[in-house]
């Protein structure tokens, strides 16, 4: 498993997966063979999350290899992130409520021994402890493992889902506000009210090829409850009809401008925005901050090779740009929080994929057709 921090690495990994392993994806995708064998899944999510490659780029490559019927499950998994982002865009208060609740729960659990043991992989559940170590070492977990992990955290260790979601965001190379927050809500049973996900010993043993023993879980826990409901807002994601020659801001989720819908538009200057921990509510690990920084540097190098005037600046330095700028939309999350809290005047540009798909993100679960 190699997450080279560049678009070249992303393309190499995409080509390798499609050519060698896509054929068996539907049959093998739920198996966690361990961190040294990830051939059954694409491991492209860290690149898709940062926009280094796009969902459509991945889907097109897969359809060039196999038919839609053969690819349907893989395409659905690729579009899950698109769906979750759209769902959260229509209900951004879910993210704000999460952060507010997280701050209170952090204080409540700051000296909690069970919480400390969970984050250090020091529980009486062998598989969970191994996954904690794997997450910290590789900054990645198989999707099935994430579901088991979250279920054990919430229902067996009896810890708040908010802290588990924060733990993932701190370490995962592919962590984003939508997929991570809503995924943990879904496991807990508050995303789809009354329906939780319960990890089971037989399921873990089957899909890890019996790599673990000592799996004693709470397999009968009721869903968590919440008295909050969130109606979808009626928002429009429209681009200006005539783009002027202004500065362009690119955030950490759109790091492949050369394949974007705006690649042929002329801008005065491109600013690549780096958001380190000083402006984040959830502090990221040093490895994750470094990974993001390297991806930004790689985008700068590629833009400069095209003779595009480019500069990397810190998120807080946007305030020093003394004119209205365009910005590739950063989506709900820490970057948008900073922009909104400082009332910064940025004209956002939206991807065509998002403009089309987000209108259909109306259920608590994936419903794209």
Residue 215 maps to a domain:
no
Residue 183 lies in a domain: yes
Residue finishing a domain among 145, 177, 207: 207
Average pLDDT over residues 320-330: 92
Specify whether 343 is located in the same domain as 252. yes
Per-residue pLDDT averaged across 214-241, rounded?
Answer: 93
| d(C-alpha 286, C-alpha 200), whole Å | 33
Instruction: Give the model's confidence band at 177: pLDDT under 50 very low, under 70 low, under 90 confident, else very high.
Output: very high
Same domain, 171 and 132: yes
Asked whether residue 166 is assigned to any structural domain, the reply reads yes
Mean pLDDT of 16-42: 96
In a domain, 235, yes or no: no
Mean pLDDT over residues 58-76, rounded?
94
pLDDT, greater one: 130 or 323: 130
Quick one: what percent of the chain has pLDDT higher than 90?
A: 92
- pLDDT 10s digits, 73-90: 999 999 999 999 999 999
pLDDT at 214 (0 to 100): 84
Q: How many domains does the chain have?
A: 3
pLDDT of 364: 55
- Chain-wide mean pLDDT for the chain? 95
- In a shared domain, residues 203 and 266: no
Residue 115 and residue 58 share a domain: no
Condensed to tens digits (0 to 9), the pLDDT of residues 97-115 reads 999 999 999 999 999 999 9
Identify the domain containing residue 132 by its residue range.
Answer: 109-207
pTM over 0.85: yes
Residue 213 lies in a domain: no
Q: What is the pLDDT of residues 279-318, one digit of tens each?
A: 999 999 999 999 999 999 999 999 999 999 999 999 999 9
Mean pLDDT of 182-203: 97
Provide the pLDDT confidence category of residue 237 given band limits of 50, 70 and 90. Answer: very high
User: Pick from 176, 207, 238: which residue ends a domain?
Assistant: 207
Q: Return the percentage of the chain with pLDDT > 70, whole number.
A: 98
pLDDT bin (cut points 50, 70, 90) of residue 133 is very high
Instruction: Indicate whether 152 belongs to any domain.
Output: yes
Residue 367: band (very low, low, confident or very high) from pLDDT cuts 50, 70, 90: low
Query: What per-residue confidence (pLDDT) applies to 366?
Result: 53
User: Which pair of tokens denotes residue 350?
Assistant: 């939206």
- Is residue 238 in some structural domain? no
Query: Are residues 77 and 120 located together in one domain of the fold?
Result: no
**Three-state secondary structure of the chain:** CCCCCCHHHHHHHHHHHHHHCHHHHHHHCCCCCCCCCCCCCCCCHHHHHCCCCCHHHHHHHHHHHCCHHHHHHHHHHHHHHHHHHHHHHCCCHHHHHHHHHHHHHHHHHCCCHHHHHHHCCCCCCHHHHHHHHHHHHHCCCCHHHHHHHHHHHHHHCCCCHHHHHHHHHHHCCCCCHHHHHHHHHHHHCCCCCCCCCCCCHHHHHHHCCCCCCCCCCCCCCCCCCCCCCCCCCCCCCCCCCCCCCCCEEECCCCCCHHHCCCCCCCCCCEEEEECCHHHCCCCCCHHHHHHHHHHHHHHHHHHHHCCCCEEEEEHHHHHHCCCCEEEECCCCCHHHHHHHHCCCCEEEECCHHHHHHHHHCCCCCCCCC
pLDDT given for residue 365 in this prediction:
55
pLDDT over threshold 70, residue 119 = yes
| From 11-20, 234-243, 247-256, the region with the lowest mean pLDDT | 234-243
Task: Indicate if 79 and 119 belong to the same structural domain.
Answer: no
């Amino acid at each position: 498993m190699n997450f080279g921090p560049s678009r070249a690495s992303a393309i190499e990994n995409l080509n390798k997966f499609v050519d060698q392993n896509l054929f068996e994806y539907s049959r093998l995708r739920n198996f966690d063979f361990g961190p040294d064998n990830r051939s059954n899944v694409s491991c492209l999510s860290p690149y898709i999350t940062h926009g280094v490659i796009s969902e459509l780029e991945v889907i097109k490559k897969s359809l060039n290899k196999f038919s839609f019927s053969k690819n349907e499950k893989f395409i659905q998994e690729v579009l899950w992130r698109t769906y979750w982002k759209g769902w959260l865009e229509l209900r951004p208060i879910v993210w704000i409520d999460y952060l507010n609740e997280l701050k209170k729960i952090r204080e409540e659990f700051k000296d909690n021994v069970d919480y400390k043991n969970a984050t250090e992989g020091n529980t009486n559940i062998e598989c969970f402890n191994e996954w904690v170590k794997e997450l910290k070492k590789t900054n990645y977990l198989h999707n099935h493992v994430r579901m088991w992990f979250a279920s054990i955290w919430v229902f067996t260790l009896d810890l708040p889902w908010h802290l588990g979601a924060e733990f993932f965001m701190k370490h995962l190379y592919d962590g984003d506000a939508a997929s991570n927050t809503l995924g943990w809500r879904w496991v807990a049973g508050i995303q789809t009210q009354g329906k939780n996900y319960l990890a089971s010993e037989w399921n873990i043993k089957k899909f890890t090829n019996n790599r673990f023993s000592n799996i004693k879980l709470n397999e009968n826990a009721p869903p968590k409850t919440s008295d909050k409901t969130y109606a979808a807002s009626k928002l429009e994601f429209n681009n200006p009809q005539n783009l002027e020659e202004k500065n362009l801001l690119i955030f950490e989720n759109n790091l492949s401008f050369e394949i974007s819908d705006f690649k042929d538009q002329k801008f005065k200057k491109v600013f690549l925005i780096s958001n380190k921990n000083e402006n984040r509510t959830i502090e990221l690990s040093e490895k994750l901050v470094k990974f993001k920084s390297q991806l930004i540097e790689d985008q700068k190098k590629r833009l400069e090779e095209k003779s595009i005037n480019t500069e990397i600046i810190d998120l807080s330095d946007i305030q020093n740009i003394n004119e209205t700028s365009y910005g590739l939309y950063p989506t709900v999350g820490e970057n948008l929080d900073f922009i909104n809290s400082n009332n910064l005047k940025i004209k956002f540009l939206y991807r065509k994929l998002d403009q089309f798909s987000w209108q259909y993100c109306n259920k608590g679960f994936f419903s794209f057709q």
